[in-house]
Structure 1
Amino acid sequence: MKNIKTLDQFKDKHFGKVGTVKRDELDLDYENFKIGAMIHEARLQKGMTQEELAEKAGTTKSYISKIENNVKEARFSTLQKIVELGLGGQLELSIKI
C-alpha cells in the first residue's frame, strides 16, 4: 500500500506540478479528450452517425470525427452548434477559480 499514489501525485512526478508547461498541456489535452468523448457518447445515444450530426450542426463529418478522436480542438461557437443544433441539447459553461 506504500507505493500507491493518487492521480495528482502521479501527474506531479511524471509531468510536473500544475502551472508547468508539460503538466498544463496534459491537463488541456485531457479536457479536449473529455469533450470529444461526451459528444461521441451523446451522438450514439441519439442513434446518429457522424455524418447526420455534422449535417444538423452545419459542419463536416471529418470535423466531428476529429473532435471525437481528440485530433482537433472545437471552437466554442462550433461546439455550441454541435450540442444545440446537432444533438438538441444545451451547452453549459462554468468557471472555477
Structure 2
Amino acid sequence: MSTKNSKLEMFSFDQIKDEFIGEIGTEKRTLYEQELQMEVLGDLIKKVRLERNMTQEELGKLIGVQRAQISKLENNTTNVTVETVLRVFSALKAKVNFNVELLNNSVKIA
C-alpha cells in the first residue's frame, strides 16, 4: 500500500452530522439534537439521584410517581414535561436553569 499520493482527509463532528444526519435546521437534525439532549438529561437525573444516595423508588415517592416512571426518565424511554423535570430536580435539591436562544432576532406576539 503506497502512501505517497494518498492524503488523509479530516472532518469535524459537525461536518459528519451535517452529512449523515442533516444540516442544522432540518427536521431530522432537530430531532437528533432533541433526543441527544433528553438522553443527557436522563443521565443527569440518574447521576444526581445516586449522589444523593436515593433509590428510584424513593425519588418516585417524593414526586408522586412509581419507580418505573423514574426508570423511564433515566433511560429516556418516555416523553417528559418541563413540570416533571422541575419536580424531579426539586426533590433532588438541585437548581434548574433553562437557556432559550432565539435563532432569529425577532419575536412576534400575536
Answer whether TM exceeds 0.5 for this pair.
yes
The structure number with the bigger radius of gyration is 2
Identity among equivalent pairs (%): 29
Tell me the CA shift for residue 2 of structure 1: 3.8
Which ranges of 4 or more aligned residues in structure 1 deviate by more than 3 Å? Answer: none
Question: Where do 1:10-89 residues align within 5 Å?
Answer: 10-84=16-90, 86-89=91-94
Please, which runs of 5 or more residues in structure 2 have no aligned partner? Answer: 1-6, 103-110
Pick the structure with more helix per residue: 1
Tell me the CA shift for residue 7 of structure 1: 1.5
- What secondary structure is seen at the aligned counterpart in 2 of 1:93? coil
Q: Deviations over 1:13-47 (max 9, x none)?
A: 10010111211111010011111011010001111
**For residue 94 of structure 2, what is the amino acid of its counterpart?**
G
Query: Which of the pair has the greater relative contact order for Cα pairs under 8 Å at 6+ separation?
Result: 1
